[in-house]
Amino acid sequence: MINSISFHRFRSLFRFAAAALILLSSGLAATGQTRADSLREVLLTQPEQLLVAAHRGDHLSHPENSIPAFQGAIEAGAAVLELDVRQSKDGELVVVHDRTVDRTTDGRGTVERMTLEQLKKLRLLHNGAATEHRIPTLREALESVKGRILVDIDFKAGNMEAAKACYAVIEELGMEKQVLFFLYDAKQVSKCLALNPDVLVMPRAHSADEVHTIMQEPLIRVIHIDESFYEAGLVRMMREKGVRVWANSLGEYDRQAQQQGGSYHSFAERLPLVNIIQTDYPEALVNYLSEKK
């Protein structure tokens, strides 16, 4: 059973992380490093420091997967921005979560059956109302946050040719060391690592057995796990081997936090060894973890 000591350690480690990042940031001008460079260094070398990931950007304040939502994630203090990538009919990489544009825009249709020109004519919705904002291309999205935050690309295009095109954009922008490339199918890990080993690949594990299989690849430094198979011994083993543990507070934990004045106590008690947390409320989670005892 997780006790209150683990809970307080959970928050104190984040406060330590925040203080360390401030110190790192203060020296950026002298070293030529960006904030993203510092965050990658923390991610790779300081597993005791918690990092907050913003799901689809700050999408509760702005249209999801929009440039303003990405900027909002940075302003909220998130370390990682998550965005979703699909491919249009004419092969362009665009940032859209759903298979269709029906929910998120004022149009209708399937992304892969629409050209970039057609997609760009649509207006993004926020709280059901059309806005002035448009679907960004992957290039536009990455350019808008270059050097300022780590980017988790939730790759939904589903084929290696699209993955190669995605990597080409990353490389052209010189952002190889700013990106996490998220895969639902761990069997694709080796193919993606072969494209460019500087791009961190983050596979999703669906069981403890799959975690062990994934960790046979020495270049893997982040694994997305689920609460259903979270176990302290497993997670400690991951961290001891230099692998970051990513889990979501999306859904029930986020809802509980909003009902309890922004408290993520329940998540901290249940998954205290997770060291990257993805949330729909990045500012609330950052503020909560930064609170003094």
Q: Which of 62, 97, 126, 133 is catalytic?
A: 97
SS3 137: strand
Residue type, 79: A
Dig out the tokens for 29 from the structure: 């001008």
Placement of tokens 């799901």 in the chain: 55
DSSP state of 135: P
Q: How far apart are CA 48 and CA 236, in angstroms?
A: 11
Is 55 designated active site? yes
Rg (CA), the chain: 19
Q: How far apart are CA 17 and CA 11, in angstroms?
A: 10
Is residue 131 within 8 Å of residue 63, measured between CB atoms? Answer: yes
Q: Which of 55, 62, 126, 224 is catalytic?
A: 55
Angle (CA) 122 124 128, round 5°: 120
Burial-class residue 123 by CB neighbours within 10 Å (0-12, 13-18, 19+): middle
Is 224 designated active site? no
Angle (CA) 167 65 202, round 5°: 45
Q: Which sequence positions are flagged as catalytic?
A: 55, 97
